[in-house]
A = this chain, B = another copy of it.
Amino acid sequence: MIRKISLGLGLALAAVLLPAPAYADALIDNANGYTLDGEGNLVRFTGLLFDVETGRVTRLLARRDDRPREVDFRHDAQGRTVIPGLIDAHGHLMGLGYNAIQLDLSDTASLAEAQARIAQYSAENPTLRWIVGSGWNQESWGLGRFPTAADIDAAVSDRPVWLVRVDGHAGVANSQAMEAAGITNASQSPAGGRVERDGNRPNGVFVDTAMDLVANAIPELQPPLRDIALREAQDILLSYGVTTVHDMGTSASDWAVIRRAGDRAQLRVRVISYADALDTLLDTAGDAMTPWLYEGHLRMVGLKLYADGALGSRGALLLQPYADAPGEMGLTLSDGTLIRNRLSRLSLDRFQAAIHAIGDGANREVLNAIDEVAYRYSDDRRWRIEHAQIVDPADIARFGQHGIIASMQPVHQTSDMFMAEARLGPGRLQGAYAWNAMLRAGSHLAFGTDFPVESPNPFAGLAVAVSRQNASGQPPGGWQGQERISLLQAFAAYTTGAAYAGFAEDRIGRLGDGLYADFLIIDRDIFDATPDEIRQAQVMETWIGGERTWVRGAQNRAASNAPPMDAPVGPMIAPEDMPEGR
């Protein structure tokens, strides 16, 4: 407090002292930096100044700009490319974590190798009540038959084991699992499924709907395991440069896991949450979006709703029958009346709605509902349509109205393209995964991956967005190539667009103007790269709120064991007076 200085030195001294900062400045220098600015222009920078205390960017520096003479920390990007942290606008955080902690058999080459892997995993996880895994393929094993309970018993017989085949259409249980699930000689195959037998006795193989006979007996994961799953999910996301996720369908249990991490300063990735049910939303948030919690790491903003199912299973609601199933038009999971009621209910408390709509029928239904409700809640509601995969071309223009957000997942396009052609036939693909048309219609575009359905790697998404080609470069010219967009547009959908979709454009999505110092140092200049090179891009360092939370090679494990928000990994930031010749 300056007024306490009573030495008679007066204002002149005060003026000299005031510029000394109350906080610590940090400089990321020698960067090949890219970010969008507030008007959507691509901005280049070579230096990034941020305040360590607040974790916010204070200034971007061009090559010609003088560097501050003194900073508290300086980090040399060594000419590498620096971009804002990427935002996945549609993922399932705990689903990614639960997948990550399960036993993965996808790279086993023989039954014996799988058995060894199962036994090892079991030994490494003595507290697990069930061993659950997936990824096996008897074809890769050259086995000529499905594995049976006896095969699995040979690896683990003291606990139930349940292993799902690589395609998800069959599973094998060991004897303990069958006993725990109450499977006996009397157990019958349900409709749409098959309990395989050795004579009269179920042999451990359960196909399609019969899989539930065992899967339903698996106990819920204990909270400490859930905590590990969240840690693993964060490690995966950080390794791909995903600094914020929109968690689609956060359950009460998911929320509890995320809060436990937040309470212990172990929430590194930022999470914008959409509740799985109205009760979850109201219990968590009361009568308004939660505040930003944990220094901008968590907020619940709204509700996930489902208008229809998915295209692969013919659950997507279409305007015309499926080309490959003329008697079917898909499923209505929430009808127009329910959607209107929910939109009204949510809007009263200024909650956001994120509505899953895949088929052209479902998209039209949701657009109709928004049209009707919008006149009553005309201000900034940011209604989200999730996926928007198949939209009647006549409806695409409507995405530009009422500020609707098209929340799309580029990689779904390459994963689905051949299936989509079968489902819809060649004449109805014009509005399929049509992100270019969405942009031209004035929609707000936000990109994501739907992880763990797809890998959360955003660089694959960027590559698909600009090429409409899969990793093999197929098809030539891109599938429905007119829907390719520029890398700048795709980059915006993964940064500023995704931030806007979560009411977070005031703090994330770009670098500058006091937004958070969430940024990546990557191994190549994606703005000077082919789609294939973009897809192969690797993240070297991931920084969130001015803290280095992930470093390639450091490694994940170290990063997740340290209290990451307080103590960044490894040697971290070099003090300004440390020699740079490392």
A-B pairs with lowest CB-CB distance, top 8: A256-B283, A224-B287, A223-B282, A260-B286, A223-B286, A4-B20, A263-B290, A263-B291
Q: Which residues of B contact A282 (CB under 8 A)?
A: 222-223
Q: Which residues of B contact A70 (CB under 8 A)?
A: 4
**Listed A/B pairs (20) with beta-carbon separation below 8 Å:** A1-B20, A1-B21, A1-B72, A4-B20, A5-B17, A5-B20, A7-B16, A222-B282, A223-B282, A223-B287, A224-B286, A224-B287, A227-B286, A227-B287, A252-B252, A253-B283, A256-B283, A260-B286, A263-B291, A263-B293
Which of A20, A72, A253 has the largest count of B CB atoms less than 10 A from its CB?
Answer: A20
Interfacial residues, chain A to chain B (CB-CB below 8 A): 1, 4-5, 7, 16-17, 20-21, 70, 72, 222-224, 227, 252-253, 256, 259-260, 263-264, 282-287, 290-291, 293
Distance between A424 CB and nearest chain B CB, rounded to angstroms:
43
Q: Which residues of B contact A290 (CB under 8 A)?
A: 260, 263
Give Cα distance in the complex from A513 to B283, angstroms.
39
Give Cα distance in the complex from A285 to B259, angstroms.
9
Q: Which residues of B contact A72 (CB under 8 A)?
A: 1
Give Cα distance in the complex from A253 to B283, angstroms.
7
Give Cα distance in the complex from A293 to B72, angstroms.
30
In contact, A5 and B16 (Cβ under 8 angstroms): yes
Q: Which residues of B contact A224 (CB under 8 A)?
A: 286-287
Distance between A127 CB and nearest chain B CB, rounded to angstroms:
11
Q: Which residues of B contact A293 (CB under 8 A)?
A: 263
Distance between A19 CB and nearest chain B CB, rounded to angstroms:
8
In the complex formed, the residue of B with least CB distance to A259 is: B259
Give Cα distance in the complex from A260 to B72, angstroms.
38
Give Cα distance in the complex from A283 to B260, angstroms.
8
Distance between A275 CB and nearest chain B CB, rounded to angstroms:
12
Give Cα distance in the complex from A17 to B287, angstroms.
48
In the complex formed, the residue of B with least CB distance to A227 is: B286
Give Cα distance in the complex from A293 to B262, angstroms.
10
In the complex formed, the residue of B with least CB distance to A280 is: B256
Q: Which residues of B contact A17 (CB under 8 A)?
A: 5, 17
Q: Which residues of B contact A227 (CB under 8 A)?
A: 286-287
Give Cα distance in the complex from A70 to B1, angstroms.
11
Give Cα distance in the complex from A128 to B65, angstroms.
62
Distance between A337 CB and nearest chain B CB, rounded to angstroms:
22
Q: Which residues of B contact A287 (CB under 8 A)?
A: 223-224, 227
